[in-house]
Structure 1
Amino acid sequence: MSLGDEHDGASAGGGGTGQTRTRLPDSGAGDVYGVYGGARRPARNSRSLITVVGVVVLLIAAIAFANRSGDGDGDGSSSDAPAGRAAAPTAATGVKPVAGKNGTIPSGYAHDEQGAQSAAANYAVALGSDGMFRQDSRHAIVRAVHDPAVVDGLLGRLDTAYSGAFLKNVGLNEDGSAPDGLTFVSRTVPVGTKVTEQTGDAATVEVWCTGLVGLAGEGSTKPVTETWFTLTQKLKWTGNDWKIESSSQKEGPTPVNGDNRASTADEIAGAVAGYGGFTYAR
């Protein structure tokens, strides 16, 4: 799923106040709310072995440098305007990961900048999950991550958006389940977070994400594709935790595709079944 242009003003589901805007690849459905979307870019030509080795060396050096520079125990929290601030590692240094859960979603974040980033990253994971395509789990997710003041209106818009016709366009059954023999994939993976504004009980956090969406299995006409996007979440401190007031989404930043071959539908389905998603993203 992908969060809509603005929660407050959206008229279709998955976006708006907790909704998501999506372009389904080759589905003919146009822009809809509910799935992180984006067409797969064509693969690049193969590069030389020397180039690949060089990239690996650079990655190893970068990881070593990051590990060395991340030994401090500061939490990086500040009420100052974050403009021009250097990017901080997303390891949960300084503040321990939350111990509480609201259903399956972590809760009880620190009332500071790092807590806001952690909340935004985990909420992106939840809102990008396949649970958003089934009414009961969708309601639980939306209630868990949003400011109670916006929940009821958002749920109505989402239920309208996740109509039987929409789910059919995605390739699902009317109840949101996958057809027999196919595995529905909808996962969002945060790559990094950035606080762009924070004042007391309000914070605006950008979450750079990559996502997977599609149907895996033999005969699928909607194969699993990847997409890159940035979510902007406006968070409010309410009920002793960070909650989403509104959110928006934009495409990218998108890296150039690597030289990896595309896996078979069975390999993707096996990976989805064999590798669990994260419940704590930072």
Structure 2
Amino acid sequence: MSPGDDQGYSDYPETGHTRTRLPETDPYGGAPRRPGRSSSRSLVTVVGVVVLLIAAIAFANRGGNGSETKASTKADKPRATSTAASGTKPVETKSGNIPSGFAHTEQGAQSAAANYAVALGSAEMFNTAWRHQILNTVYAPEVAAAKQSAMDSAYANEKFLANIGLAKDGSAPKGQSFVSRVIPVGTKVASSGTDSTTVEVWYTSLFGLSGETSRNPVTESWYTTTYTLKWADGDWKITDYQQKDGPVPVGRDQTASTADDMTKAVEEYGGFTYAR
């Protein structure tokens, strides 16, 4: 969704101005102007500038004592940005359909938070059996039971389900597909300790019903969720979370896809295992 040439942007916009070269004459009607000083002086000036430039480069590259050279080299090395990938491979184990077995590191905590956000924002959360498995996998044992009770009450609320167009059992109406997907954009460690880490996950969310008769079409939203994680049972587990809106980018002027195209996309495009 980054701006490109098709949006009308140009690195070198045309100004619409032209330049006209006039004769070397006096603007008040006098004789043509005499040429400047001889070209020899210009040549001397150019040579002098080049010599000074070479001297300046040599001075800048001049090495000092050993400690100064080492410090300078270290400072001049490029630093990895916060958006650079860690290069660590995703985990290869799963608990049900949820990635597990993350590294006991900050990178592992970020990977866990991203994948847990995907699971907690999935359509499977509207199915009781799947919801219980997800909650027991991503939450720490001491809080899983309480979270399960609270979320069962929320997801079984008939008014809530009716508002989003689902049946009492959380299923979509005939001829429609329920879409609930979270796509992480990035993660950030807010605070870190040996066995506890707070991770922020910025993501976009797709939510709604696709189908010709849908009254709740699939829409896009943006959120940041802060997860408090602890190391328990050989993996990172959630103990608490907070959610807020945004940051929200400016939407491009794109035509919404048809209900048929959206349904096909949901059925044909699978998700990912995320690794920081």
Correspondences of 1:74-89 after superposition (within 5 Å): 86-89=81-84
Closer/same/farther in 2, CA of residues 264 and 50 from structure 1, 3 Å limit: closer
Structure 1 residue runs of 4+, over 4 Å off?
A: 47-50
Within the candidate set 269, 272, 276, 2:263 is matched to 269
What whole-Å deviation, never above 9, does each CA across 1:193-222 have from its counterpart, x for those lacking one? Answer: 000100110000000000100000001110
Q: Which runs of 5+ in 1 are unaligned?
A: 1-46, 55-84
Whichever of the two has the greater Rg, that structure is: 2
Pick the structure with more helix per residue: 2
Distance 2:269 2:5 in 1: 31
Within the candidate set 108, 125, 128, 1:135 is matched to 128
* Higher RCO by CA contacts (8 Å cutoff, separation 6 or greater): 1
Closer/same/farther in 2, CA of residues 277 and 50 from structure 1, 3 Å limit: closer
Distance 1:183 1:239 in 2: 37
What whole-Å deviation, never above 9, does each CA across 1:160-189 have from its counterpart, x for those lacking one? Answer: 111222212211111111000000000000
TM-score for both structures, normalised by structure 2:
0.70
Correspondences of 1:150-161 after superposition (within 5 Å): 150-161=143-154
Distance 1:253 1:168 in 2: 29
User: Which residue in 2 is equivalent to 1:216?
Assistant: 210
User: Which residue in 2 is equivalent to 1:11?
Assistant: none
Distance 2:275 2:9 in 1: 29
**Partner amino acid for 2:8?**
T
Does the 8 Å contact 1:202/1:237 carry over to 2?
yes
Correspondences of 1:79-228 after superposition (within 5 Å): 86-90=81-85, 92-93=86-87, 95-162=88-155, 163-228=157-222
Does the 8 Å contact 1:122/1:279 carry over to 2?
yes
* Paired residue secondary structure (2:8): helix
Within the candidate set 232, 236, 243, 1:238 is matched to 232
Closer/same/farther in 2, CA of residues 200 and 170 from structure 1, 3 Å limit: same
Displacement of 1:50 after TM fit? 6.6
* Paired residue secondary structure (2:224): strand
User: Which residue in 1 is equivalent to 2:43?
Assistant: none
Displacement of 1:100 after TM fit? 1.3
User: Which residue in 2 is equivalent to 1:35?
Assistant: none
**Partner amino acid for 2:127?**
R
Does the 8 Å contact 2:140/2:239 carry over to 1?
yes
Does the 8 Å contact 1:125/1:281 carry over to 2?
no
User: Which residue in 2 is equivalent to 1:22?
Assistant: none
Displacement of 1:115 after TM fit? 0.3
Does the 8 Å contact 1:228/1:252 carry over to 2?
yes
Displacement of 1:86 after TM fit? 4.6
TM-score for both structures, normalised by structure 1:
0.69
Distance 2:263 2:10 in 1: 30
Closer/same/farther in 2, CA of residues 281 and 147 from structure 1, 3 Å limit: same
Within the candidate set 34, 37, 51, 2:8 is matched to 51
Closer/same/farther in 2, CA of residues 52 and 180 from structure 1, 3 Å limit: farther
Distance 2:7 2:148 in 1: 53
